[in-house]
A and B are shown apart, each in its own frame.
Chain A
Amino acid sequence: MIFQERNAVTHPPGPAQDEILRVKGLRVELRVEKGVLAAVDDISFNLKRGETLGIVGESGCGKSMTALSIMGLLPKPIGRIAQGSITIEGVGDVAAMSERQRMRVRGNQVSMIFQEPMTSLNPVFTVGFQISEAIRTHETVGKEAARKRAIEMLDLVGIPLPEMRYDSYPHQLSGGMRQRVMIAMALACRPQIMLADEPTTALDVTIQAQILKLMNRLKEEIGTSILFITHDLGVIAKMTQRVLVMYAGVIVEEASVRDLFARPLHPYTAGLLRSIPRVDKAAGRQRRLHTIKGVVPNLLSLPRGCRFSDRCPDVHEPCRKWEPPLAEPENGSGDGSRRVRCWLHNRPPAHD
């Protein structure tokens, strides 16, 4: 049988782990035709050293904008960080930095891999040149030394014949190989933080399995912390230790991956988990899939109160009046590992 029970012990969420990235009150605004919308609206979270933190959500929930604002790559001139701080351990608040200062951080302490490697690699330079360029931008090393490092990186990410592949152009590589090159480039300066935005979404499942395995191996070897953004709950379950669920620009739930899947608290999370067909539970055709009614609200005209209230099966009176805070659930363990934005788990303000 292919599917088995996994051993119970995985990464205990120890408070001893220090935090390498602290995002506080981040608000990202986008200027669009019809006005200014908050793609990310007051989110706060921490990334711990050595952990993989997942961000899951549907298109337009703000997960990519969060990563781009950490990288300092928000689309110009329409996007900007309107509020909040992004503190990287040993670097400082990058949200307050000038573009010049940020360039020194980008690719050095923080790097990013994207969904579509073909559009993120420069088609007119060899992949080897692009990796050595990243190294030489941040470190004072000679051409030969950078070349040697780049070849080592290509070898590290499992590209066969790295010396030969150094001189290949991106179009000469397959999708999986290009994503390996992207990872090699992202890790060339041994960053503390790697942001992965849907890194395997464009790949076939067998190639996805290769890349996920590679990312886990490199995380151990290089000691990088990963912020893993995806819409795929399967990938979240496989790769992460903690998860943030985003909906319409805000975090609606934060939990360890085990708690999230075993006992989702927010009705949106619960709905998502029940909407996906599962091959490991051979219910087959008899079962109708659960659905979440309606669609994600327009960020320019959010419903009053809770952003999910229009689609929520458990909606009640306070939900349409006040937006709930992201807070520890009242009947939670109290260790601070769980937060949820829902009036079902936090008493609403007294009725007026």
Chain B
Amino acid sequence: MTDMQTTKPLLEVRNLKRHFPVDDGFFVQSQKSVKAVDGVDLAIAPGEALGLVGESGCGKSTLGRNIVRLDKPTAGEIRFEGVDIAPFGDRELKPYRRQIQIIFQNPFSSLNPRLTVGNMLMEPLMLHGEGDRAKRRQRALELLELVGLGADHFDRYPHEFSGGQRQRLGIARALALRPKLIVCDEPVSALDVSIQSQIINLLRDLQEEFQLSYLFISHDLSVVEHMCDRVAVMYLGRIVEIASAKALYEKTFHPYTRALLSALPIPDPTVQTEEIILEGSVPSPVNPPPGCHFSTRCPFATPSCSESTPELREFEPGHFVRCSRLEEIL
């Protein structure tokens, strides 16, 4: 694990917010908004993999899209190597685009069906003015080999590839400009078990080889545990717990994280999980519960929990938890 105290972070997100206005209808100026990301702080060190887990609608993908600046945050800072890129426009962003790349979940919709693999891989190089045509071709072939495909795939179209191979292409494209940070948004969720492990191993090998940093977004806690140095758990736009992967899985503090872990079916019929079944479903992010967002489903909630928003506190060194009653419920 990378020591966050001594290394300067590659990426630092401070109090990031992304609110989407809700359409109330024609002519009506909307007062309401979906608070998809509502005050997130996190940092990623060079060479570190940070996992981001949570259920659908918790804002994890929105956060990822804001970090690669496919979306513009409502407020807050995104510091990449110390420079706040949150307010940047397209022109100012261009040098950062090559440093921060993204891999998407669905390998069937994220590749342009009309570009051959070769052209797809050379396009980013061309846009950023890298090398001449021969050099770019050389680099594309190199990329194919890196992700376990061959030169014979260069002139093919995406539809000729299986799901796992397409995800390899998505990874090759993300690597083309030698980025420092890759946001992986559910990169293995659409894949079959036997293919999933191939892609996970590939991502880890590449990380080691090129000292990449990952923000690894997933709903699958076992994949995240396997991939990441540290893990952040999100619930309704906020981080509720963040710790090293080891600490999070061994000493789970936040009641939501505990419920998430206990809900995970373990592939071993001799293991019995402690059942913490949460009632109901995640409340609407348009109108989240006051105070602690989790208070409506929390088995330990008291009336005071819905009165004030708990802070993310450092409960043990490097282990932050957002719960005001933590001392009482442990």
Contacts and interface: CB of A to CB of B under 8 A. Distances in A.
A and B form one complex: yes
Interface of A: 1-8, 10, 58-59, 174-177, 204-210, 212-213, 231-238, 257-258, 261-262, 271-273, 275-280, 282, 284-285, 287-292, 295-296
Contacts of B201: 288-289, 291
Contact of B265 (A212, A262, A289, A292): A212
Contacts of A291: 194, 197-198, 201
A257 B263 contact: no
Given A278-B266, A279-B222, A233 B277 contact: no
A204 B219 contact: yes
A257 B269 contact: yes
Contact of A207 (B164, B195, B281): B281
Interface stretch (B25-33, B128-136, B254-262, B310-318): B254-262
B171 to A, nearest CB: 16
Contact of B275 (A209, A233, A261, A273): A209
B80 to A, nearest CB: 25
B232 interface: no
A58 B193 CA distance: 7
Contact of B193 (A204, A206, A233, A258): A233
Nearest to A259: B269
Categorize the interface residue count of chain B.
Answer: 35 or more
B55 interface: yes
A296 B263 CA distance: 30
B92 interface: no
Best-surrounded residue of B195, B227, B266 (most CB of chain A within 10 A): B266
B281 A3 contact: no
A59 B223 CA distance: 20
A206 B198 contact: no
B194 A58 contact: yes
Given A7-B272, A233-B267, A276-B193, A285 B281 contact: no
Nearest to A61: B192
A280 B268 contact: yes
B266 A279 contact: yes
Given A2-B261, A282-B246, A291-B201, 9 more contacts: A1-B274, A3-B266, A4-B273, A8-B270, A209-B263, A277-B226, A278-B222, A279-B264, A285-B226
Contact of B264 (A1, A175, A234, A290): A234
A6 B267 contact: no
Closest 8 CB pairs of A and B: A234-B265, A6-B272, A277-B226, A209-B263, A204-B55, A58-B192, A275-B197, A233-B267
A257 B266 CA distance: 13
B249 A261 contact: no
A2 B267 contact: no
A174 B269 contact: no
B306 to A, nearest CB: 20
